[in-house]
Amino acid sequence: MRRNDWLMLWTLSLLWGGSFLFNELALAGLPVMTVVWGRVSLAAAILWVVMLARGTQFPAREIWPALVVMGLLNNAVPFTLFVLAQGQITGALASVLNAMTPIFTLLVAHFATSDEKLTVARTVGVALGFAGVLAMLADGGMQGTRWALIGCLGAALSYGLASVWGRRFRAAGLTPLATAYGQLMASTLLLTPVWLVADRPWSLHWPGWEPVLAVIALASLSSALAYLIFFRILAQAGATAVSLVTFLIPISAAGLGWLVLGERLEMRQLLGLALILAGLAVIDGRLLRRR
């Protein structure tokens, strides 16, 4: 990859890693569904403006049912689970479990597709990833946060399902930008009644500027801008190159959590992260081929 591609890749990792920090800042004054709904609705509005400015064709009516499923799997479910979990655990730890996404994607693809089966190397990588999860879940002192950790794993699994489901949009001729807009708009429509019932936004008090700005950052930086950079890297450097962001997100999230909130990963969590990253390295294969 060129230097510019690496710069965009690190920027993308900061934007997606920053979402865990923004979640924590937003939760200081806002309820869960308001944070999630604010993120997807504002991001959808931003991408709508971008599509109008670029003259990008909007999704056709017949593709919207598939976009609703994509919005559920790639936005509504994982965003909600991560925000719920971060009421009990740090963003740094949530980002470590988010790194399981490619491993779940492999498992889903193995059972749901005919052309992406597990190989020996991929099986070893999956085993290392789950060993990392077990290292973090095994300690009896984490009983109070175990459901939060399982929620993060559920979010990563949802992302994995979305990755396989999203293969259909390229075959349908839908541009990546239109797919991103469609899934965010669909998730906004799905989450609106849940948000109205759960949070009763008309009864909420003004939370102060910090949580509001955090939600704006989630939507504009960690969603809309991140998608634009993601698709730029995808076009210039390819899918294999952009997959490297998975290795960088936990580093960015942990660094931001330490810098802004003073968070630290425990030794057990660092061990789990090391095993997960080792699994991803085996799956990716480039490091082993170089050696």
Spans of all domains in the chain: 3-290
Per DSSP, helices labelled H in the chain are 3-27, 32-54, 64-71, 77-85, 91-98, 101-112, 120-137, 146-165, 167-171, 176-199, 209-219, 226-237, 239-242, 245-256, 267-284, 286-290
pTM of the entire structure?
A: 0.89
Q: How far apart are CA 161 and CA 143, in angstroms?
A: 28
pLDDT at 144: 57
Residues of the chain with pLDDT under 70: 1, 139-144, 235, 237-243, 285-291
> Can you give the pLDDT at residue 291?
56
The pLDDT of residue 141 is 46
Distance (Å, whole) CA 152 – CA 132: 14
HSE, CB side, 13 Å, CA atoms: give it for residue 26.
28
CA distance linking residue 140 with residue 146, whole number of Å: 9
Per-residue confidence (pLDDT) for residue 289, from 0 to 100: 60
